[in-house]
Structure 1
Amino acid sequence: MVIEYAGTVIRAVLTDKREKYYDGKGIGCYMFRIDDFDVVDATMQGNAARFINHSCEPNCYSRVINVDGRKHIVIFALRKIYRGEELTYDYKFPIEDDENKLRCNCRARRCRRYLN
């Protein structure tokens, strides 16, 4: 285990409204979907996990785990991580049509070129 993705748990239906609010205020948005119903919003009350970047060849992975009936997002190491090495995981965004694709800049040897 590396770190838990911490923040405020909100209903998934509120994410668009929050994203628009943050965008209007010029605030970077950091949200991580737990499931179809809940999302962790780490934008205002998160921890350092929100700054972990995407990579198509990551050194970590994320899992939703259940602890005492509550779901938590935890980042785990895939391999030994060396001091000074950037932490990364695959964001696994849903596949979108060509006009909504997000370019990937991970520079991995086997980069998929898009996050979604």
Structure 2
Amino acid sequence: MVIEYVGQVIRQVRREQRYKEEGIGSSYLFRVDQDTIIDATKCGNLARFINHSCNPNCYAKIITVESQKKIVIYSRQPISINEEITYDYKFPIEETKIPCLCEANGCRGSLN
């Protein structure tokens, strides 16, 4: 285990639109399941700053602890000092593509 992705547990995605209206340029919303999102935008930890990679050294896993779903980042391999921690965001496939800038070997070219 590297770190838990923490934030406010919410049940709606309208918050992303509200953040845009408020001028908040970056939001950190991580979907747990169909109904639940963890919003780390205003009350998260360092996990919200972990970048995407198409060839990551970590992965995100949803676990249940005392009937609460949590997101935990686990390492795939030993991680060296000063090595960037990354995981695959696994965004859903959509018509509008989000360019990927990870520059990893085998980069897919988009986050979705």
TM-score over 0.5 (shorter chain): yes
| CA distance, structure 2, for counterparts of residue 23 and residue 30 of structure 1 | 12
Matched residues in 1 for 2:3 and 2:44: separation? 12
Residue 5 in structure 1 maps to residue 1 in structure 2: no
What are the superposed Cα offsets for residues 49-80 of structure 1, whole Å, 9 maximum, x if unpaired? 00000000000000000111111000000000
Structure 1 stretches of 5 or more lacking a match? none
For the pair 1:20 / 2:20, whether they are aligned, the reply is no
Matches within 5 A, 1:35-114: 35-97=33-95, 100-114=96-110
- Between Structure 1 and Structure 2, the one with more helix by share is 1
Supply the AA of the counterpart residue of 1:18: R
Q: Matches of 2:29 and 2:20 in 1, distance apart? A: 13
Identity of aligned residues (%): 55
Deviations 1:82-114 (A, max 9, x none): 1111110000001112xx110000000100001
Alignment size in residue pairs: 111
Measure, in 2, the Cα distance between the counterparts of 1:26 and 1:50.
Answer: 19
RMSD over equivalenced CA pairs, Å: 0.7
**Per-residue deviation, residues 28-55 of structure 1 (Å, max 9, x unmatched):** 1001000011000000110000000000
Gaps of 5+ in 2: none
Q: CA deviation at 1:25?
A: 2.3
Query: Any runs of at least 4 consecutive aligned residues in structure 1 with deviations exceeding 4 A, and if so which?
Result: none
